[in-house]
Structure 1
Amino acid sequence: MKTAVDTGPAVDTPPPRTLSLTLAAAFAPIVWGSTYLVTTELLPPDRPMTASVLRALPAGLLLLLLAPGLPPLGWRWKTAVLGILNIGAFFPLLFLAAYRLPGGLAAVVGSIQPLVILGICLVLGWGRPRVAQVLWSLVALAGVSLVTLSGESTVDTLGVAAAAAGAFSMAMGLLLTRRWGMAPDMHPLTSTAWQLIVGGTVIIPLIPLVDSGSWQLDGPAVLGYTWLSVIGGALAYALWFRGARALPSANLALLGILSPLTAAMLGWVALGQSLSPLQCVGFALALLGSLLGQLKRTTAQPNHS
């Protein structure tokens, strides 16, 4: 006779594959957190659009060498849309916010992305967010605020608008990447390559309009651009878009919190910037919100004997 055996209460455990995808995707925002340090210490000043193009185009061409091909006809417009949202629009908005806002305020506005994703899903009927996920998003946002904001922060309307638009652009890119999935018979690296190529190409016309600094390609600049393109571009985006196609968009957006936290840690370690006790508390809260927001409640199935 078969009887149900109680296996205990519901538990929060990510499946092994989900855990591995999450850890791999987390590499991307951690690497992106080094962008501020690399930009200020290695790259020529006042060349944000040049940095954006050199971060995207060479990375896309490198991935295309590894996985050559074209998107299928029905997917080319989708690839173009994703390239503009994730790269072509996001990069300029990100740099505009960084140049017009204190770094802390720009990071806080950008870290609303998990809440933006949850809001878009509600408005468009693309799913109902879990209450726990909303709460952990708020915890992470509060933590980033404590880490990055200072009493001297000033508000620039255009800068705040750019940061918010950048968060919306990346949020829509993540959601559409998740909803559209992958084109049949196309290698994931090929899709990532064309997004980077499209995005980088869109930014090129902005170089003469925005960049004002002199062009200096010395040893440190070559090292900086290589890091941004190969590690922060090709490798990071390959892992990020791989996670975007498999993981819930809100979970992936919560990982973005790791970027300002990494920037703060690198400033502390490499530049000698100090972290106050309140900032340490904020660091712990942001990390806690980002990590626990990944968990999903699952109920163990009963065994029969």
Structure 2
Amino acid sequence: MALSDSVPATARPDRRALAAATTTVVLWASAFVAIRGAGTHFGPGALALGRLLAGSVALVALLLHRREGLPPRAAWPGIAVSGLLWFGAYMVVLNWGEQQVDAGTAAMVVNIGPVLIALLGGKLLGEGFPPRLLAGMAVSFAGAVVVGLSTSGGGSSSLLGIALCLLAAVSYAGGVVAQKPALRHASPLQTTTFGCLVGTAACLPFTPQLVAQVGTAPLSATLGVVYLGLFPTALAFTTWAYALARTTAGRMGATTYAVPALVVLMAWAVLGEVPAPLALAGGALCLAGVAVSRRR
């Protein structure tokens, strides 16, 4: 069933939308941990294609089960643009960028994405610039910078890596802003499924590389790619679209500032990387900013 315009962005907060946004943030944070394992055995393009293929299979199966069919024609421009920018370009460029710079630098550069979303959403989607949203984003951005500084390790940064992470942030922001209008005409599942298929088609030139690297990669790395496709892609992007349909792009973008804080905690629990006090302080700032931005 397609989403109609009957759900205003200014309506009373939807608990289901909040749960969906929380699911997205947690799964996207887990992706950083999974990519660390899989990224040592797969190139940026092969990793993106493998992730998108696994996600596409799961999404198409669910779409057929729910019998939702093709999105309306009016939704296709937004789906195509978000698929190319977010599912395609963002995943490849981010994978490549993280091979060039340390995690802290990447986090600081990519986390300009929510700022761009707020600016583009305010200008192109008519969402305006609520003072509480801007204040919360400022707090969260400061927290992201603190987290990045605490994990940068003092290494030198590649100019190519910084440029790639900046391009990833721009692609992410453009994809979110393009997806928002599509959700007025298509369901979150339709928007996510066909956006993922568009991204997969764009990454098909990496097929030979993926086939070759699957043959040499350990099973754990291949399972990591499958995990990235099923959960941080298929499930998390669908819950993201569900929540985005019920709030503004700027507010949803601000929610993702919680990701760096969760990454620090997950790396601590899964990888045994004990976070520095500065990282914990930065994570607390990220969460505080999200809380401020999402208050009415």
Shorter-chain TM band: 0.7 to 0.9
Question: Are the equivalent residues in 2 in contact too, given 1:148–1:264 (CA < 8 A)?
Answer: no
The question of 1:181 aligning with 2:183 is answered yes
Higher helix share: 2
Question: Are the equivalent residues in 2 in contact too, given 1:97–1:163 (CA < 8 A)?
Answer: yes
How far the C-alpha of 1:115 sits from its partner, in A, is 1.3
Question: Are the equivalent residues in 1 in contact too, given 2:144–2:260 (CA < 8 A)?
Answer: yes
The question of 1:26 aligning with 2:22 is answered yes
Distance 2:26 2:290 in 1: 12
Query: After alignment, is 31-40 or 193-202 more displaced?
Result: 31-40
The question of 1:15 aligning with 2:12 is answered yes
TM superposition score normalised by structure 1: 0.82
Deviations 1:225-280 (A, max 9, x none): 22111111211111011112221111111121222222211221222222222222
SS in 1 for 2:245: helix
Give the residue type in structure 1 aligned to 2:283. Answer: F
Distance 1:39 1:114 in 2: 21
Q: What percent identity do the matched residue pairs reach? A: 25
Pick one of 41, 46, 49 that aligns with 2:45: 49
Change (3 A) 1:121 1:193: closer
Distance 2:124 2:55 in 1: 33
Give the residue type in structure 1 aligned to 2:183. Answer: G
Question: Are the equivalent residues in 2 in contact too, given 1:60–1:195 (CA < 8 A)?
Answer: no
Partner of 1:62: 58
Q: For structure 2, list consecutive stretches of 5 or more residues without a partner in the other structure.
A: 1-9
Instruction: Give runs of aligned pairs for residues 93-112 of structure 1, distance below 5 A.
Output: 93-112=93-112
Distance 2:125 2:36 in 1: 42
Give the residue type in structure 2 aligned to 1:248. Answer: T
Distance 2:224 2:255 in 1: 24
Give the residue type in structure 1 aligned to 2:16. Answer: S
Question: Are the equivalent residues in 2 in contact too, given 1:79–1:195 (CA < 8 A)?
Answer: yes
Q: CA RMSD in A?
A: 2.6
Query: After alignment, is 173-182 or 136-145 more displaced?
Result: 173-182
Count of residue pairs the alignment pairs up: 281
Question: Are the equivalent residues in 1 in contact too, given 2:46–2:207 (CA < 8 A)?
Answer: yes
SS in 1 for 2:203: helix
Q: For structure 1, list consecutive stretches of 5 or more residues without a partner in the other structure.
A: 1-12, 297-305
Deviations 1:129-183 (A, max 9, x none): 1122112111111111112223514232222222122212221222222234242
Deviations 1:51-90 (A, max 9, x none): 2112112212322222232233443343221211221111
The question of 1:198 aligning with 2:194 is answered no
How far the C-alpha of 1:192 sits from its partner, in A, is 1.3
How far the C-alpha of 1:99 sits from its partner, in A, is 1.2
Partner of 1:300: none
Partner of 1:224: 224
Partner of 2:163: 161
